[in-house]
Amino acid sequence: MPRLTIGLGGVLIILGVIAYIATAFASWTALIPAVLGAVILICGLVGLKNARVGTIIALIVAVLGILGTSMNVMELGALVAGEAERPAAVITSAITFVLLIIYVIFGVRALVTTRKNAVEA
């Protein structure tokens, strides 16, 4: 899990930087995925020393990220209709949202599997 966590952090950092550049440096909020990615990346580095702690902290950050991006994800209908006020924010938030949901699924499965193996041993 630590490598997946580090990879996700890197992808989110790249996504945030691309969004910031694509919006012509207009708003620092385009960097939110990069900040989220940096925190998750740090959790992955912690996970290299203690996988359980790093994964749990990264999962908490990911769930908070899901909650934070969900507001913009609700604007997908307006984006498709061409009525979104900030289309770049909606797209970036939707990508971040999906990546974080996938990560949470993998992370929870890994923790459950680890727990089962510990109980059986």
Q: What is the pLDDT of residues 56-92, one digit of tens each?
A: 999 999 999 999 999 988 988 888 888 888 888 889 9
Tell me: pLDDT of 99 over 90. Answer: yes
The closest alpha carbon to 58, from 6, 121, 113, 112, belongs to 6
pTM of the model: 0.89
Give residue 39's pLDDT.
97
Is the pLDDT higher at 11 or at 26?
Answer: 11
Give residue 10's pLDDT.
97
Tell me: pLDDT of 101 over 90. Answer: yes
State the CB neighbour count (10 A cutoff) for residue 119.
7
Rounded to whole angstroms, what are the CA distances from 27 to 20, 22, 68?
7, 10, 17
Percentage of the chain lying above the pLDDT 70 cut: 98
| 42, 50 contact by CB (below 8 A) | no
Give residue 77's pLDDT.
86
Which amino acid would we find at residue 1?
A: M
Tokens of 61: 């950050």
| For range 21-36, the mean pLDDT | 89
Give residue 119's pLDDT.
74
